[in-house]
């Protein structure tokens, strides 16, 4: 496992449908683990996923393990401010628990080494993600969205499960100059 090589490649348009399905399958695992079932339709919704993948500044990346597609990410890159955002990150089911998510994140950091600040978010119920971002990747929690302090960027499909409108916003300062 230590010799496993993680690389990144931009996702080709011919692979986008597979990318989206794999991402939704990976996200479904956490929802089913927490709530026992999925709502009507995938998480994130097709509409939210399309918006993330086609937004101005977004880059859709494939995570490759020794050249094989094992996950992906959607990052939002602001070339002027270098305040960049990790919108989505997933490792396909069957590849979890091997440190590949951390290796993928480190590859993203290296690819965008001019980044001053990274931001990301995750639902409150996704404790595995909270652990990953805070304890493994070095992010800090900077905001907690909830019914008293709603997320101004809340996805259209949120609110389908008890407490799924509760979420953490994370930030990682890479350099201050």
Q: Which of 3.40.630.30, 3.50.7.10, 3.40.50.720, 3.40.640.10 would CATH assign to domain 6-173? A: 3.40.630.30
* pLDDT tens digits, one per residue of 29-55: 888 877 777 667 788 889 989 999 999
Domain range annotation of the chain: 6-173
Taking only the tens place, the pLDDT of each residue in 113-141 is 999 999 999 988 889 999 999 999 999 99
DSSP assignment of the chain = -TTPPEEEEEPPGGGHHHHHHHHHHHHHHHHHHHHSS--SS-SS-HHHHHHHHHSTTEEEEEEEETTEEEEEEEEE--TTT-EEEEEEEEE-TTSTTSSHHHHHHHHHHHHTTT-SEEEEEEETT-HHHHHIIIIIT--EEEEEEBTTB--TT--TTTTSSTTTT-EEEEEEE----
Q: What is the pTM of this model?
A: 0.90
């Amino acid at each position: 496992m230590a010799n496993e090589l993680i690389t990144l490649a931009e996702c080709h348009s011919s692979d986008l449908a597979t990318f989206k399905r794999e991402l939704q399958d990976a996200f479904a695992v956490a929802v089913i683990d927490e709530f026992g079932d999925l709502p009507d339709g995938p998480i994130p919704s097709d509409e939210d996923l399309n918006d993330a993948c086609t937004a101005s500044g977004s880059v859709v990346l494939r995570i490759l393990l020794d050249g094989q597609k094992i996950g992906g990410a959607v990052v939002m890159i602001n070339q002027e401010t270098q305040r960049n955002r990790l919108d989505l990150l997933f490792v396909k089911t069957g590849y979890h628990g091997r440190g590949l998510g951390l290796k993928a994140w480190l590859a993203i950091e290296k690819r965008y080494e001019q980044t001053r600040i990274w931001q990301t978010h995750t639902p409150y119920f996704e404790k595995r993600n909270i652990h990953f971002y805070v304890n493994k990747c070095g992010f800090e929690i900077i905001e907690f969205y909830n019914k008293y302090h709603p997320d101004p960027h809340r996805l259209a499909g949120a609110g389908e499960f008890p407490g799924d409108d509760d979420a953490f916003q994370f930030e990682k300062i890479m350099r201050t100059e």
